[in-house]
Amino acid sequence: MKKTSTRLADGRELIYYDLRDDTVRDAADRRPLGRTVTTSEIRRDPLLGDAVAIASHRQGRTYHPPADECPLCPSEGDRLSEIPDSSYDVVVFENRFPSLAGDSGRCEVVCFTSDHNASFADLDEEQARLVLEAWTDRTSELSHLPAVEQVFCFENRGAEIGVTLQHPHGQIYAYPFTTPRTALMLRSAAAHKEMTGGENLFDAVVRRELAGERVVLEGEHWVAFVPYAAHWPYEVHLYPKRRVPDLLALDEAARTEFPKVYLELLRRFDRIFGEGEPPTPYIAAWHQAPFGALEEFDGVVREDFALHLELFTIRRTSGKLKFLAGSESGMNVFINDVPPERAAERLREVASS
């Protein structure tokens, strides 16, 4: 992998990740852009104790442009985009309309391929491995920023999810705090560790799922399963079998196997609802241990956390979406219409031949 860092016309950082070591990236951003102005602010909810990012400048972000005006495609002739070069393998750049900026953190965009009409599932294993390396590199770099406590790599896919740019891409959020979801996991891990005299909660969960009926696919180094209390109609958690706290700690064997396992999982998601259905909308979210101090989580250290990817769709059946209505949105109590055991069975049924 070759990494080349440059700057866009408004000062934002852009990084090329290339498969070939002899690739030269010297194209300049020819757009007449002024400096990006953001108004990101983190506010704490005094009742719930969580954080809300107030980012009014995002109202003006690019919204469903036609394909020939896609800002994530390479620049070509007089059509100038966020990527100055005429081609790329994988590219990462600072978001022009970030939810988090400055002392409030940082937001980046990850373009998985220059092919506008592809999806992550269309990548070959070499390209998917390059994306993994980009996620890992950005996690490392962002973790050293003074304002950053947790790094979150994710992909939103599909208009139903709220995606406004159809080009295959994901995002990275670098938060200045430990996110509420992660804090809940750490508290559960602390309680389980104390109750059991030192057992790791994540290890216990993976061990139970490996022995059960909800495993979707399993490799030598990774296992994917529908969790016992899945919140979403089709939800899969992907864990490395050797517990590590973050992407940086994956060994070479796990990195090598990941593309094959993950691509197969994504391709099964596209087959859940049968032939002729539109691509399955989904969210793919990496859960990594925070880089800040964990004193508030009694007895838990970073190494107790288990890196894992959560993949889920909001489509519950053909042509129908799972909406977060009163119970889910009002009280955060999910109601799942698809039994996790049936979801796992379906995801095994649609395995590649």
What are the C-alpha distances in Å from 274 to residues 230, 237, 294, 317?
22, 22, 45, 10
E strands within the chain? 2-7, 13-18, 41-44, 51-54, 90-94, 106-111, 150-157, 169-175, 215-218, 222-225, 234-240, 282-287, 308-313, 315-317, 320-321
Give one word for 198, left, alpha or beta, with left for phi > 0 and alpha for psi -120 to 50: left
Number of helices (H), then strands (E), in the chain: 6, 15
Per the document, the length of the chain is 353
Task: Please identify which residue in the block is written with the tokens 């309309």.
Answer: 97
How many CA atoms lie less than 13 Å away from 157 in the CB half-sphere? 27
Q: What's the sign of the alpha-carbon dihedral 334, 301, 240, 15?
A: positive
- Which residues form the catalytic set? 169
Cα distance from N-terminal residue to C-terminal residue, the chain: 32
| Closest of 227, 198, 195 to residue 210, by C-alpha | 227
Q: What is the Cα–Cα distance from 150 to 294, expressed in whole angstroms? A: 12
